[in-house]
C-alpha cells in the first residue's frame, strides 16, 4: 500500500500507473483534507493561545494600574483649591518634624466614595497565603516606633489619608508581586507632579538608606501609575497630600520572590530600619 503523504500527493503521478486506482485517489484526497484540517487547527490553537496571553498581560497591567489609583483612566482636574499664589506664599505650620507613614491597603474597606474603586484591589498583592496589607502593616508600625524614638511626630495612615494632608514627609509602603518568582528588589518613586520640590530628595534618601540596610537590588520597573499614586494626586482627589508635602512611595520587595519574602516577613527590624533611616536622613538634609 502506498504511503499517502502531502508530498506524495503533490508529486505528479503518471496516469494509469497508479496501482491503487480510484480508491487510492480517494485516500489521498482524504489525507490532504486531514492535513489541511490539522494545519487549520494548529493555526486556530495558536491564535487562541496568543490572544489569551495578550489578555492575561492586559489584566496584569490593569491590576497594576488599579493598585495605585481608583480610576487610572480618569485625568480630570478637580482641584482649584490650591492657587499658585497660595502655594508660593505657603508656610510650614509651627511644630516638631511630622511624618506620615502609610500602610498600603490598610483599612481599604473604609474608603470614601471618590476612592471606592480601590476596594477592588482588596488587600493588595497576594502570593500563596500571604497578602500585601498584612505584610506591610507591621513594617509601618515598626517605622513609626523607630521615628517616635527620635522625637519625630509620626503616625501610621490607612488608605484614606486626611484631605490636604500636611507633613514634612509622607511615605507610602507597599510590597510587589510578580508572576515570575525570579523578579525581585525594591523601588522608590516620588510624585510625578511635585510642587514641594523635595520628592526627589526624599526618594533619593530612601533609596540609599534602604539599599544599605537590606542589600536588596533596585528594581527599575517604575511605572507611570506608580508616580501618579492616588494619595499624591491632589489635583484629582480630596483625600490626598497637600501639594507642599514631600512624598514618596516605596515598594519594599516582592512577596513572590523567596529572598525578598523571607526578609519582609522575618526581618521586619531591618526593613523598617532602612525606611526610618531614609526618612531621618531626609529630615536632616532639610535642617
Residue 124 lies near Zn ion (rule: CB under 5 A): yes
Integer CA distances (angstroms), 196 to 38, 147, 169, 201, in order: 63, 22, 10, 10
Total number of residues binding Zn ion (CB under 5 A)?
4
Least Å from the CB of residue 174 to Zn ion: 3
User: With CB under 5 A as the contact rule, which of the stretches 9-17, 122-130, 155-163, 226-234 interacts with Zn ion?
Assistant: 122-130
Task: Annotate 117-162 with DSSP letters as a single string.
Answer: GGGGGTTS-EETTEEHHHHHHHHHHHHHHHHHTTT-EEEEE-SSPP
- CA 17 to CA 278: how far, in whole Å? 88
Least Å from the CB of residue 136 to Zn ion: 7
Among 64, 174, 187, 261, binds Zn ion (CB under 5 A): 174
Q: With respect to Zn ion, which residue has the nearer C-beta, 28 or 132?
A: 132
| DSSP SS3 for 180 | coil
Element (H, E) at 49: helix 21-68
User: With CB under 5 A as the contact rule, which of the stretches 5-13, 173-181, 189-197, 256-264 interacts with Zn ion?
Assistant: 173-181
Sites for Zn ion among residues 87-116 (CB under 5 A)? 104
| Interaction mask 125-164, Zn ion, x per CB under 5 A | -------x--------------------------------
- CA 263 to CA 248: how far, in whole Å? 21
Q: Which runs of consecutive H residues, i.e. helices, occur in 69-118?
A: 84-88
Q: With respect to Zn ion, which residue has the nearer C-beta, 132 or 168?
A: 132
- CA 85 to CA 257: how far, in whole Å? 47
Sites for Zn ion among residues 227-256 (CB under 5 A)? none
Least Å from the CB of residue 103 to Zn ion: 10
Sites for Zn ion among residues 29-88 (CB under 5 A)? none
Closest CA to 133 of 160, 115, 161, 108: 108
Q: With respect to Zn ion, which residue has the nearer C-beta, 175 or 213?
A: 175
Least Å from the CB of residue 124 to Zn ion: 4
* Contact call for residues 173 and 140 (beta carbons, < 8 A): yes
| DSSP SS3 for 90 | coil
Q: With respect to Zn ion, which residue has the nearer C-beta, 132 or 219?
A: 132
Where does this chain bind Zn ion (CB under 5 A)? 104, 124, 132, 174
Amino acid at each position: 500500500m502506498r504511503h499517502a503523504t502531502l508530498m506524495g500527493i503533490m508529486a505528479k503521478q503518471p496516469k494509469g500507473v497508479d496501482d491503487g486506482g480510484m480508491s487510492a485517489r480517494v485516500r489521498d484526497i482524504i489525507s490532504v483534507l486531514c492535513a489541511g484540517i490539522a494545519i487549520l487547527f494548529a493555526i486556530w490553537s495558536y491564535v487562541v493561545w496568543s490572544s489569551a496571553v495578550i489578555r492575561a498581560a492586559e489584566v496584569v497591567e490593569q491590576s497594576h494600574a488599579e493598585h495605585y489609583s481608583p480610576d487610572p483612566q480618569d485625568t480630570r482636574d478637580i482641584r482649584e483649591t490650591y492657587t499658585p499664589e497660595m502655594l508660593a506664599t505657603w508656610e510650614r505650620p509651627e511644630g516638631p518634624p511630622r511624618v506620615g507613614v502609610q500602610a498600603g491597603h490598610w483599612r481599604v474597606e473604609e474608603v470614601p466614595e471618590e476612592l471606592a474603586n480601590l476596594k477592588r484591589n482588596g488587600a493588595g498583592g497576594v502570593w500563596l497565603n500571604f497578602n500585601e496589607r498584612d505584610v506591610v502593616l507591621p513594617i509601618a508600625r515598626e517605622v513609626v516606633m523607630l521615628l517616635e524614638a527620635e522625637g519625630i511626630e509620626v503616625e501610621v495612615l490607612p488608605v484614606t489619608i486626611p484631605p490636604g494632608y500636611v507633613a514634612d514627609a509622607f511615605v507610602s509602603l507597599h510590597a510587589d508581586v510578580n508572576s515570575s518568582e525570579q523578579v525581585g528588589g525594591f523601588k522608590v518613586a516620588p510624585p510625578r507632579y511635585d510642587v514641594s520640590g523635595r520628592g526627589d530628595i526624599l526618594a533619593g534618601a530612601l533609596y540609599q538608606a534602604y539599599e544599605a540596610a537590606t542589600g536588596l537590588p533596585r528594581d527599575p520597573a517604575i511605572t507611570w501609575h506608580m508616580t501618579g499614586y492616588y494619595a499624591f494626586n491632589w489635583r484629582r482627589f480630596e483625600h490626598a497630600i497637600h501639594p507642599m508635602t514631600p512624598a514618596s512611595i516605596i515598594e519594599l520587595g516582592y512577596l513572590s520572590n523567596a529572598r525578598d519574602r523571607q526578609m519582609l516577613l522575618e526581618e521586619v527590624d531591618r526593613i523598617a530600619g532602612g525606611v526610618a533611616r531614609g526618612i531621618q536622613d531626609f529630615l536632616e538634609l532639610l535642617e
